[in-house]
Amino acid sequence: MKSLLQTIIGLTVMEATRLEDTQSTYFEFANAALAVFGSMKIFPEGTNLENIVGDEIKSFSDDDPSAVTIEFKSNSKIIFDVVEAEDLFSPERICYRNLNTNPPIYDLIKQIDDFYRS
């Protein structure tokens, strides 16, 4: 699954939205989308989701068993604590779709248990 999530690198953020009621952040790209569930911290301090619209993803990591880290070309970084949010209504922590790949990635889902097995 890790290699498929790496296909997000190089995509430019067209829209970024945080939904506090579901503890989720939704990113839209050209022919692709990503949703990450969990608490979120953005760096450097003072950066917000509006600042990353138009920015390109430089790296994506879910190697840490409790976190997902996305870094951008502007050197902004978002860290999601995906394990802390165990009280979420569903086990999904990452939902990803990328129609730019060959073959297209329609529904890649990483659940909470996948992080515990990492």
For the chain, domain boundaries? 2-116
Model confidence, pTM = 0.86
pLDDT tens track of the chain, all 118 residues? 446 788 999 999 999 999 988 888 999 999 999 998 888 999 999 999 999 999 999 999 888 777 889 999 999 999 998 766 555 566 677 888 999 999 988 887 776 565 555 4
- Rounded to 10 degrees, the C-alpha dihedral 99/4/11/83 comes to 120
Tokens of residue 94, six digits: 């990452």
pLDDT of residue 118: 47
**Both tokens assigned to 35:** 């949703």
Q: Which uninterrupted H or E stretch holds 19?
A: strand 15-19
Q: In degrees rounded to 5, what are phi and psi of residue 101?
A: -85, 165
CA-based nearest residue to 13, from 78, 86, 106: 78
Please tell me whether residue 75 adopts helix, strand or coil conformation.
coil
